Chains A and B, each alone.
Chain A
Amino acid sequence: MTQLKELMSALDNAAKHPAQVINKCLEEKRLMIGCAPEYCPEEIVYAAGMLPVGLWGGLTSIKNANQYFPAFACSLVQTTLELGMRGVYDGLAGVIVPAHCDHLKCFGQDWKVAVPQVRFIPLAHPINRKLEAAVEYLKSEYSRIKSVLEEIGGQPISDQALSEAIEIYNDHRKTLREFTLIARDYCTTITPSLRHNVIKSGYFMDKLEHTQLVNGLIEELKKAPPEAWQGKRVVLTGIMAEPNEILDMFEDYGLAVVDDDLAQESRQFRTDVPQGTDPLEGLARYWSCMEGCSLLYDPQKNRRFMLKRMAEESRADGVVACIMKFCEMEEFDYPIYKKTLEEAKIPLLYLELDLVTPSLEQVRTRIQSFAEMISRKR
């Protein structure tokens, strides 16, 4: 039992205090590269011997970033730029910024000017990702990023190192998939917030170490029989379920998170990088294999069916749309899957989330009424 507690607190701590993990890295003189939302080729960074660090903004007020963004930019880009301008990321040797949405395109350009001390490494994914030409193009983007990292690190990145990194990452993905499945059976121990932190801690740790910790956690959990859960079960969808306080509210009102379709969580690890002889091509092809995210071109909106299936398979009592305010990628999808879930009679809660001015009391009221509503349903 103590072993379980220790593992839980180690992971929880890493997510809550990334600075500690990062300071360790600084002491060891291991270079770190920031990875901005939502999809970065972390494997290349890892293969360079550097630590990829996920940048997902944070709860903070805006004092500087408003020189670049009007108030209606999503709070992920606003707070990340704000933290960058305050020097929080000065320990990073660079930051990879994809251009998935209009906010991110501008964020990267603004970063270049506003945070010149942290090298900007741009990335533009191909959106027509099913075309063979898209794989070729993305490979060229990755190849440029690889050269930049080689320059920063002062040594070449071998194919073998890349293949090993891919293996380590796929292993990590598999472990996290297993964790999210197991977590469902231990809803009392793995609270919504702990579940989130177990996953999130991976953004600040070496993936080998993280995989080991999470595997240990899974083993420890399995030692006890599955826990009976009296409360209700929900699936989360959206970019991310932060600020953290909202997850505590889920717990307060007896809601367990039994699966997620969040960009910060499961969307990162539900697909594996295909293995092949050319590791860079494998990474590029990975992007073509991914499905079901608001940032992935989806003209049939298959995401709505995936979501419905996910809710059914996890026997969820409802779905919670965690919509980052001003995120049009998610806001456009919402009316479409709302219809599908309504038709399937799956209750849906719309939560507007904001890291700059979070109206937590309003969110609390909405979570509470939703919990009451789904409790009455059965």
Chain B
Amino acid sequence: MPEKLTSRNLLNQLQTRHYTNAYAAKIKGQLVGWATSIFPQEFCETMDLTVVYPENHAAAVAAKRGALPLLEQAESEGYSMDLCSYARINLAYMKSQAAEIPIPLPDFILCCNNICNTLIKWYENIAAELNIPMILIDVPYNHGYEPTPAAIDYIKSEFGECIRQLEKITGRPFNHEGFRKVMILSNENSRAWKRVLDLNQAVPAPLNGFELFNYMSQMVCARGRQETGELLKLLIEELEEKIKLGKSCYEDGEKCRVMWDGIACWPHIKHNFKAFAKNGINIVCSSYPEAWVLLYEPGNLDELAKVYSMIGNNTCMEYQADKREREVKNFKLDGILFHVNRSCKVMDFMQYEQQRLVAARTGVSIMNFDGDQADPRNFAAAQFETRLEALKEIVAHHKSAKKSKEVTNNDPA
């Protein structure tokens, strides 16, 4: 009897296929693009373009412990060690193509700065070095709670410009009917992805947070595609089944529910995983995977502009604090572990105030550690372990204090 296909297996198949198909396309002489992780893929999906995602690739390279040689290569070319490690890995890869997982070089690039402005500088360098066209969708930083009407108009005009540029690059017209279909499908997938994330609100949580990072890759690379829907459907079934059985992903049950704030430390992910398990801490959600929940009314370009503009990193202090507060409540969190990520300035430089705000509003326990998403040198295992233990202790302390308070409150005398 053939083994039942698990979502994990399907994910691996889809990710492998994603990279091999891209290579095959290049060999066949088709155009290949590189895009930033939350570029409005609706446009390239409509044009049926092969696109790979350097951030996703750099993460995969780092997880396979292949980052260091590329990082060193970038530094030897004059890139500062302080720059985002995804950028350094990718810019070095662009020159040497030395990585275990190969991706084809791009014929055009697509950049949206809804996660950071670093991306613009990084992509400019690709465009200049390879002498290829770059499409930029700039979403102005939301210093207010939401984008202004003028900002929405500006972004919509960029959408039009993006279409014009894509038509020019491919020599084909943009199919507006197809665009609608892609939007519908993308929303279905986003809704399913949200369902996956929300299912982890269950106690105990059915999915280990590290797995979320893996499944997230599919949302990065193919959230406008049918097969992603199939994967998510399978995953949801599995999670619902686990919830029904009351199964925790920890054998001895779930003692402490924590949110991982920021990107994973890919080069040390196995270590991190073990350290959590050892402390009985379960990552039940993360601020990061949620960024790929992009819901809007298909065909409504104002909403499309807004949703792509309001990615967490592109929002103001209050918006971010409100979002974290909701997460603490919905996921019944005991703690938040903040990754002070050496690579990612935009995620770090409001973090301290976020920590104060969220702690004050919810009483959640907070801990942070120094790391880097892809540069293995910027992480100290000993510090990480100590911080985790400390978090566990604070949470335990809070819990027992809360309990004794409850006891006192309930004391009829």
- Bound Cα distance from A134 to B150, whole angstroms: 9
Cβ-based interface call for B134 (8 A): yes
Cβ-based interface call for B184 (8 A): no
Cβ-based interface call for A20 (8 A): no
- Bound Cα distance from A326 to B81, whole angstroms: 9
Known: A102-B346, A102-B349, A141-B150. A298 touches B124 (CB 8 A): yes
Task: State the total of A-B contacts with C-beta under 8 angstroms.
Answer: 158
Cβ-based interface call for A39 (8 A): no
Cβ-based interface call for A10 (8 A): no
Contacts of B342 in A (CB 8 A): 72
Cβ-based interface call for B128 (8 A): yes
**Which B residues from 99 to 151 make CB contacts under 8 A with A?**
113, 116-118, 120-125, 127-129, 134, 136-138, 140-144, 148, 150-151
Q: How many residues of A contact B (CB 8 A)?
A: 57
B157 A133 Cβ-Cβ under 8 A? yes
- Bound Cα distance from A294 to B359, whole angstroms: 38
A72 B78 Cβ-Cβ under 8 A? no
Contacts of A328 in B (CB 8 A): 80, 82-84, 118, 121, 345
Tell me whether chain A's interface is mostly helix, strand or loop, or mixed.
Answer: helix
A131 B157 Cβ-Cβ under 8 A? yes
Contact with B along A300-317 (1 / 0, CB 8 A): 110010000000000000
What is the distance, in angstroms, from B223's C-beta to the closest C-beta of chain A? 24
Contacts of B116 in A (CB 8 A): 102
- Bound Cα distance from A131 to B125, whole angstroms: 21
- Bound Cα distance from A328 to B120, whole angstroms: 11
What is the distance, in angstroms, from A298's C-beta to the closest C-beta of chain B? 6
Which A residue sits closest to B357, measured CB to CB?
A: A113
Partner pick for A133 among B79, B129, B158, CB 8 A cutoff: B158
- Bound Cα distance from A68 to B355, whole angstroms: 10
Cβ-based interface call for A335 (8 A): yes
Known: A67-B352, A68-B353, A72-B345. A331 touches B154 (CB 8 A): no
B134 A299 Cβ-Cβ under 8 A? yes
Most chain A beta-carbon neighbours within 10 Å: one of B78, B118, B144, B156: B78
A128 B138 Cβ-Cβ under 8 A? yes
B128 A299 Cβ-Cβ under 8 A? yes
Contacts of B340 in A (CB 8 A): 70
Cβ-based interface call for A109 (8 A): yes
Cβ-based interface call for A329 (8 A): yes
- Bound Cα distance from A108 to B142, whole angstroms: 11
Cβ-based interface call for A126 (8 A): yes
Cβ-based interface call for B381 (8 A): no
Which A residue sits closest to B348, measured CB to CB?
A: A70
Partner pick for A109 among B120, B129, B317, B348, CB 8 A cutoff: B317
Known: A328-B83, A332-B124. A101 touches B158 (CB 8 A): no
Cβ-based interface call for B3 (8 A): no
Cβ-based interface call for A297 (8 A): yes
What is the distance, in angstroms, from A203's C-beta to the closest C-beta of chain B? 23
- Bound Cα distance from A110 to B321, whole angstroms: 13
Cβ-based interface call for B350 (8 A): yes
- Bound Cα distance from A122 to B141, whole angstroms: 10
Cβ-based interface call for B48 (8 A): no
A331 B140 Cβ-Cβ under 8 A? no
B140 A126 Cβ-Cβ under 8 A? yes
What is the distance, in angstroms, from A95's C-beta to the closest C-beta of chain B? 13
Known: A102-B118, A137-B140. A73 touches B124 (CB 8 A): no
Cβ-based interface call for A184 (8 A): no
Kindly list 11 other residue pairs between chains A and B, CB separation below 8 angstroms, not including A125-B140, A133-B157. Answer: A110-B317, A110-B350, A127-B120, A128-B137, A137-B150, A140-B148, A297-B120, A299-B128, A332-B83, A334-B80, A335-B78
> Which residues of A are in contact with B by a Cβ distance under 8 Å?
67-70, 72-73, 77, 99-103, 105-110, 112-113, 122-128, 131-134, 136-137, 139-141, 144, 294, 297-301, 304, 323, 325-326, 328-329, 331-336, 338, 350
8 closest A-B pairs by beta carbon, nearest first, are: A106-B349, A133-B157, A122-B143, A140-B150, A335-B78, A332-B121, A137-B154, A127-B138
Between-chain CB contacts (< 8 Å), 25 pairs: A68-B352, A68-B353, A70-B352, A73-B349, A101-B117, A105-B117, A105-B141, A106-B345, A110-B317, A124-B142, A126-B154, A127-B140, A128-B154, A131-B157, A131-B158, A133-B157, A137-B150, A299-B136, A328-B118, A328-B345, A331-B79, A332-B121, A335-B77, A335-B78, A336-B129
